[in-house]
């Protein structure tokens, strides 16, 4: 029984807890009870909107968000929720207008809110708009692994694999235990035929890191091939157990048929949605300016490292700077550095990095995602 002395904030707090536990019906009941006592409490109407959005009751969710905005036209969570609801029901112009209003109100530095907006756009297939949202929040939260990973997922959907490699590896640089971008990266590599590089990343995950049948089958296949073992192998058994835990009753033959059916005539996947998705930067080098325009110096370029450093100069200067900031090779020759970096690239992404010249090396490093050429 609801306690009669609850404040509106207490109703909101308890409803949030129920929502986070995916108990949407209970959250909705509590919020409606709270609204009977506090009909002007904006946050309770916002909570109702999100609970109904989670229940896919879009008309009711839109009404709840509209009611909240009548009480407070600049309530950022209500605007974001309304935008998400409108996006799902196909009212794209209204959704984008609501999202833009959130930014105009000064909330473009709100990490969670902007991630919510970007992810909503991503889920509905608006990848260009999602990328803009993630880039906007990345300016304020340069060291967020979630934002870096989101930029990686979006770049991949836009066919920008070099950018995808960079941002996914940037996310892992920021948080090595972040399994989601590692699994996604491994799946990209597998689809490209880079099975050795894919296995390097799969091997750094555990069965509990995976929530998709396809990626688990891939790990099992690679394990059995690499170790020449069968289903009775203890390590393979761990992955099979995870598959069973997820309810995966698909046979290996069914998986092969599904992958064949998902191919276009040229052998490329029809739709990359088989990849696991999320639920879901800069430090100055001493003496260097951040994001200095490349045209400030003739022939100059700007690159970003996995560590988030911005380097500026011509190709030869950039190569020397990159060697200097990568402490492990700082004392070796430039040739030794390029060769070591090239080995890293081919091991982690399968991309061969040429070492014939500074420009060829840096462009190859960008293709492998070890650096990103900004300008």
Closest by CA to 325, choosing from 313, 343, 308, is 308
Phi and psi angles of residue 103, each rounded to the nearest 5 degrees, phi first:
-65, -40
What are the residues facing 182 on neighbouring strands?
none
How do the pLDDT tens digits run along the chain, 375 residues long? 445 558 888 888 888 888 888 898 998 998 898 889 999 989 999 999 999 999 999 999 999 999 999 999 999 999 999 999 999 999 999 999 999 999 999 998 999 999 999 999 999 999 999 999 999 999 999 999 999 999 999 999 998 988 999 999 999 999 999 999 999 999 999 988 888 888 889 989 999 999 888 889 988 988 888 888 888 888 889 999 988 988 755 555 545 544 443 344 444 443 433 444 433 322 222 222 333 344 445 568 888 888 878 888 888 888 888 878 776 555 678 888 888 878 877 888 888 888 888 888 888 888 888 788 887
Torsion angle of C-alpha atoms 177, 181, 186, 192, degrees rounded to 10: -160
Q: Taking the chain, what is the end-to-end CA distance rounded to the nearest angstrom?
A: 62
Phi and psi angles of residue 278, each rounded to the nearest 5 degrees, phi first:
-70, 145
What is the model's pLDDT at position 331? 62
Question: Domain-by-domain residue ranges, the chain?
Answer: 178-275, 294-373
The pTM (predicted TM-score) of the whole model is 0.76
> What is the distance between the alpha carbons of residues 77 and 58, in angstroms, rounded to a whole number?
16
């Amino acid at each position: 029984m609801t306690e009669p002395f609850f404040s509106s904030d207490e109703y909101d707090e308890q409803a949030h807890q129920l929502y986070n536990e995916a108990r949407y019906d209970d959250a909705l009941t509590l919020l409606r009870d709270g609204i009977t006592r506090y009909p002007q409490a904006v946050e309770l109407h916002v909570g109702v909107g999100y609970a109904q959005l989670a229940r896919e009751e879009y008309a009711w969710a839109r009404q709840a968000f509209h009611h909240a905005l009548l009480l407070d036209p600049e309530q950022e969570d209500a605007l974001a929720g309304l935008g998400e609801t409108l996006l799902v029901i196909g009212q794209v112009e209204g959704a984008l207008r609501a999202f833009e209003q959130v930014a105009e109100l000064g909330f473009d530095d709100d990490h969670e809110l902007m991630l919510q907006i970007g992810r909503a756009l991503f889920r509905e297939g608006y990848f260009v708009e999602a990328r803009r949202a993630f880039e906007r929040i990345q300016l304020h939260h340069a060291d967020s692994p979630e934002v870096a990973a989101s930029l990686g997922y979006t770049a991949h959907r836009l066919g920008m694999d070099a950018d995808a490699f960079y941002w996914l590896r940037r996310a892992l640089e920021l948080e090595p235990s972040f399994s989601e971008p590692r699994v996604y990266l491994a799946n990209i590599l597998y689809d490209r035929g880079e099975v050795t590089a894919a296995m390097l990343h799969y091997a750094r995950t555990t069965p509990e890191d995976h929530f998709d049948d396809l990626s688990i089958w891939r790990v099992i296949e690679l394990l059995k091939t690499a170790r020449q073992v069968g289903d009775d192998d203890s390590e393979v058994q761990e992955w099979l157990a995870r598959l069973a835990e997820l309810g995966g009753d698909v046979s290996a033959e069914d998986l092969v048929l599904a992958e064949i059916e998902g191919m276009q005539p040229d052998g490329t996947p029809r739709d990359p949605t088989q990849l696991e998705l999320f639920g879901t930067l800069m430090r100055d080098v001493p003496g260097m300016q951040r994001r200095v325009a490349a045209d400030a110096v003739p022939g100059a370029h700007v690159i970003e490292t996995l560590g988030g450093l911005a380097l500026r100069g011509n190709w030869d200067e950039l190569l020397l700077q990159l060697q200097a900031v990568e402490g492990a090779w700082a004392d070796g020759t430039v040739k030794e550095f390029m060769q070591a970096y090239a080995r890293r690239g081919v091991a982690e992404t399968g991309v061969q990095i040429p070492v014939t010249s500074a420009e060829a090396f840096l462009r190859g490093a960008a293709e492998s995602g070890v650096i990103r050429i900004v300008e």
